[in-house]
């Protein structure tokens, strides 16, 4: 079913996890494009800082502090959007956290807490958002991970939460399509992204965790999310890494297992001693930033993502480059 979605600049967009990483990058990008944004995170002072920054950019912004694991907080977030701007056009469930450690070492208390945010927080956000989106149409965007499609060692409960989110999102999409509800449901699956994600994660290892390459800039994900706010997509994998890992999982899973065992246990850690700075149970105020501390190369563009979101322009761009290269080679030969 074709669903009518507004231009980003005409939208009211709700974003959870909006004081860090992908959520913060998305809030900034949405405001720059003219959208009204309603943001959420646990640290109220950081929300005020981000709201002030967006206001200085000329954006319209409201915020609600609190944990997405709390139903009343999520409902207050929706109510704030209605009270301030009269509607909700797009709801982005982005808040998330991870745990680094062997499954046998991670406490069940910590694992349950992770699920409260990564799974139940997004379930609550989705269902409460639908109370408003179904009336006037709009987009529901859930931020999963490349680990919604595959797994890696040392983040077992995170893997499980993102698989659960994928199952929920895809089932919800089918049920809404059957109902002919005017809501676009998209699962965004980023590759490894240079955000404070490793520093915020609960860490059972002796060393500080880090991403494994390829690692991409958060702004690539933010742009993908906003594209999905105005264009209907089912699943968007951000970065060639996400597509490659998904492909290996489907066509050569045993090979993928061997690669992960050989690379992940050492590749997920730095040489720096572990620091206790996680945000599993509470926020760490005073740290609203998009980028993390990844020391390797960060990809600032993703042709594979561009091809997914805008296949015709991407094809023309590649074709143009190909023609240019062919002409250059021919000219060299003639000289």
Residues forming the active site: 158
Q: Quick one: angle between helices 21-32 and 44-56, nearest 10?
A: 30
- Which backbone phi and psi does 39 adopt, to 5 degrees? -115, 155
Please work out, in degrees rounded to the nearest 5, the angle formed at the alpha carbon of residue 90 by the alpha carbons of 56 and 284.
55
Listed in order, strand segments (DSSP E) in 97-168 are 99-100, 138-143
- Which backbone phi and psi does 146 adopt, to 5 degrees? -60, -20
Q: How far is CA 315 from CA 12, 96, 134, 228, 292, in A?
A: 32, 34, 35, 19, 32
* DSSP calls for 163-177: HHHHHHHHHHHHHHH
Distance of CA 89 to the CA centre of its chain: 18
CA–CA separation, 203 vs 327, rounded Å? 53
By the 8 A CB rule, do 12 and 35 touch? yes
| 257: three-class secondary structure by DSSP | helix
């Amino acid at each position: 079913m074709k669903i009518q979605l507004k231009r980003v600049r005409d939208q009211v967009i709700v974003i959870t996890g909006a004081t860090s990483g992908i959520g913060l990058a998305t809030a900034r990008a949405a405001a720059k494009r003219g959208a009204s944004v309603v943001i959420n995170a646990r640290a109220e002072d950081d929300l005020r800082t981000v709201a002030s920054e967006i206001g200085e950019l000329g954006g319209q912004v409201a915020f609600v502090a609190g944990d997405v694991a709390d139903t009343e907080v999520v409902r207050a977030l929706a109510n704030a959007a209605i009270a301030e701007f009269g509607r909700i056009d797009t709801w982005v469930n982005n808040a998330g956290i991870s745990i680094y450690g062997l499954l046998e070492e991670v406490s069940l208390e910590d694992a349950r807490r992770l699920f409260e945010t990564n799974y139940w927080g997004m379930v609550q956000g989705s269902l409460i958002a639908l109370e408003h989106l179904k009336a006037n149409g709009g987009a529901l965007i859930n931020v999963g991970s490349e680990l919604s499609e595959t797994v890696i060692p040392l983040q077992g409960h995170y893997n499980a939460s993102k698989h659960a989110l994928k199952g929920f999102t895809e089932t919800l999409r089918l049920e809404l399509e059957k109902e002919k509800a005017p809501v676009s449901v998209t699962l965004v699956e980023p590759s490894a992204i240079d955000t404070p994600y490793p520093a915020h994660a609960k860490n059972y290892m002796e060393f500080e965790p880090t991403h494994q390459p390829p690692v991409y800039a958060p702004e690539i994900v933010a742009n993908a999310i906003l594209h999905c706010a105005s264009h209907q997509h089912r699943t968007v994998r951000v970065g060639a890494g996400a597509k490659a890992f998904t492909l290996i999982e489907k066509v050569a899973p045993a090979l993928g297992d061997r690669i992960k065992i050989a690379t992940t246990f050492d590749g997920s850690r730095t040489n720096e001693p572990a620091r206790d700075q996680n945000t599993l149970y509470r926020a760490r105020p005073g740290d609203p930033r998009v980028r993390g501390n990844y020391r390797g190369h960060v990809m600032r563009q993703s042709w594979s993502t561009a091809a997914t979101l805008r296949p015709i322009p991407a094809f023309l761009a590649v074709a143009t480059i190909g023609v240019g290269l062919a002409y250059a080679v021919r000219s060299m030969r003639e000289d």
